[in-house]
Structure 1
Amino acid sequence: MSLSAKWVRSAVIGLALVPIAAVAAPPPSTLPPGVYAGEKDVALAVAGKYELDVSHTSVIARVSHIGYSYSLFRFDKAEGALTWDPAKPETAKLTASVEVGSIVTPVQGFADKLKGKDYLNGDAFPKATFVSTAFRKTDATHGKVEGQFTLMGKTRPVTFDVELVGAGKGFGSPRLGFIAKTWINPQDYGLPPLMTAPIEIVIDAEFVKAG
């Protein structure tokens, strides 16, 4: 037997003798004491009332730039409340709103125009709101949330496709995070004729148990 063959044989025997538990052991947690990472298990978000953690939430509108690309408009001021029971997700209730005047865009000066009468008319209609009417679980980490969306004084039904990001003990209080997406027709809400293509709304939301 050659030297290299003997080395390979010895290495294989050595690996076989290592206890399986030692090989499979997960690395120690690097999180501080009392801080728990979210997991893909919605049952870890215990029943109760939750409030939107605005510091870990984003509301984005993806608007077609006359067919060439998509412009991203971000709303920086939002609030929301969720009543949740993992054993009965169909009974959940959600209310949420954003201040249209908090819109931000990378196009210099355009945010002020978007707040004005030609677009969102923020002085007359300072908030866009959503009130849920039904929660429908489709699998362990996905679902649909139906509700009424109000923008510029006009209310229409919308359905958000929802994906669980994580749930768990959080830090101090249980937390629940998800991604929600839907499309709206801008003409249904009185936006200018320039906006004809459907607008995608993307929400990354994190809720923390109240109290």
Structure 2
Amino acid sequence: MTKAVWAVDKGHSSLEFTVKHMMMSKVKGVFTEFDATVEADVNDLTDAKIEFTVDLSSIDTRKEDRDNHLRSADFFDVENYPNMTFVATNIKKTDENEYDVTGDLSIHGVTKPVTFEVTVEGVHKDPWGNEVAGFSGEGKLNRKEFGLVWNAALETGGVLVGEDVKINIELEAHKQA
């Protein structure tokens, strides 16, 4: 297979995150608006071009007050930093259909390298003859490294919001003609 452009099918894709709340439970959320550019040979991603742009105002944690707080200057400050971006800079094959995709992640005006473990889940033809590929990815970042430092102390000790954020990505992409 040769290198091709793959368009993300947002209706069959998701960008989710998990963060500790009150040091004992986890809050999950999604970003509903994102776009990706993937130019790759799905049989060998090592020279792929991968770029993501996420509209941070599209955050959804199923609680409007929390979402509005996350959009505020205390966290993402979407008025000044409306997007989160990721541009792959190094892709290393780690196993059959598995890769470490390292790139520059930019949030809140701060850019740092982050690595995602990515799996090519498969490539098939849909009922209309179109080539479709599936990708899964996961990674972790420390939100404070990106200037997202707001927190509140708990009366019993500890803090309200955890520092580590786990990210899960599920992509379905259609090969472009």
Task: Count residues with an aligned counterpart.
Answer: 167
Q: Secondary structure at the match of 1:122?
A: coil
1:112-142 per-residue CA deviation (whole Å, 9 max, x = no partner) reads: 1111111111111111000001121122221
Higher strand content, 1 or 2 = 2
C-alpha contact (below 8 Å) 1:160/1:180 kept by paired residues: yes
Tell me how large the CA RMSD over aligned residues is. 1.6
| Corresponding position of 1:37 | none
* TM-score (normalizing by structure 2): 0.87
Aligned positions of 1:94-105 closer than 5 A: 94-105=50-61
Q: Aligned to 2:79, what secondary structure does the other structure show?
A: coil
The partner residue of 2:35 within 71, 79, 85 is 79
Structure showing greater radius of gyration is 1
The question of whether the paired residues in 2 share the 8 Å contact of 1:51 and 1:81 is answered with yes
Q: Equivalent residue for 1:16?
A: none
**Equivalent-residue separation in structure 1 for 2:129 and 2:47 (angstroms):** 25
Please give the alpha-carbon distance, in whole angstroms, between the structure 2 residues aligned to 1:65 and 1:128. 22
Query: Which of these residues, 102, 114, 119, is aligned with residue 163 of structure 1?
Result: 119
Counterpart in the other structure of 1:120: 76
Gaps of 5+ in 1: 1-42
Aligned AA for 1:70?
K
Contact in 2 for aligned 1:185/1:197 (Cα 8 Å) = yes
**Residue aligning to 2:88:** 132
Displacement of 1:192 in angstroms is 2.4
| Structure 2: 5+ residue stretches without partners | 152-160
Shifted more, 198-207 versus 166-175: the winner is 166-175
- On the 8 A contact 2:75/2:150 being kept in 1, the answer is no
Quick check: 1:187–1:196 contact (8 Å CA) kept in 2?
Answer: no
TM-score for the superposition, normalised by structure 1:
0.74
* Higher helix content, 1 or 2: 1
